[in-house]
Amino acid sequence: MDTSGEPAQRDVVLSFVGTQAKVQKSGMLFPQNLPERSWEQIGTNLRELVNSSAWWLADWLLFGEATYGWRRYKEAIERTGLDYQTLRNYAWVARRFEHDRRRDGLSFAHHAEVARLSPPEQDYWLRKAEQQKWSRNELRRALRASLAAQSDTTEISPSGDDEQQAAPRSAEPPAAEKRRPQVTTLTIELSADQLEHYSKAAAAHGLPVGEWVTQVLATADRHTAGPRTADRRTAGSGTA
């Protein structure tokens, strides 16, 4: 294999690609009789190489930052050809996962999807993604579905178990509904002159016009009910 590079680089490439393909900096050449199984394996290994390179870049950057200071970001940009934000994103994800919590069976992108979660949540979702053999996009969809479910109105049952029940948005004891006074909205059409007149009258009593009208109606109702009650009493005694 011609790697056109240093022995260390050659060893790295050989470990991922093998000896059946010819690797150059500008491409890869394959023999005509390459078995399909070998071609598939090279693709899998290249995927692992790409995934590992993100971790390698992140750890390389963190080491330079810790050892040589923030000024090494400029050097990192020049050395890698990557922009500042990309390198910062790599470093941020790497900081969120110690080496013993990184899962070789999942990609760097899997870890990036859960990086904002707490460590226990990270471990839970990564373990589930590994068990279910989820792609990065499948993990993302599962996370979004979980967040959507959590955003619904839920309540923990009084027994303290893990079962959650949806809480009605307007849940209220029936007794409270019975005690609630019935409110009727009455619309009164007034001319501009009438509204001005009533507003002045309400202001004289120190009340908003709506409250003043309500009091006037209540007073009128009492005055009207009085004679009717008396008439009923008189009629009753006359009958007796």
pLDDT tens for residues 156-184? 444 444 433 333 333 333 444 445 556 56
Tell me the DSSP string of 19-41. Answer: SSSEEETTEEE--TT--HHHHHH
Neighbours of 26 (CB within 10 A): 6
User: Which residue would you say has higher pLDDT here, 60 or 214?
Assistant: 60
7-40 confidence digits (pLDDT tens): 555 555 566 666 677 777 778 888 888 888 888 8
Helix (H) or strand (E) holding 164: strand 164-166
3-state secondary structure of 18: coil
Q: How far is CA 93 from the centre of its chain?
A: 19
Letter for the amino acid at 137? N
Q: Is 61 within 8 Å of 90 (Cβ atoms)?
A: yes
Scan for tokens 């971790």, then name that residue: 55
Average pLDDT over residues 111-115: 95
> Whole-structure pTM over 0.75, yes or no?
no
b/e burial code for range 90-119 (CB count within 10 A of at least 16 → b) = bbebbebbeeeeeeeebbbbbbbbbeeeee
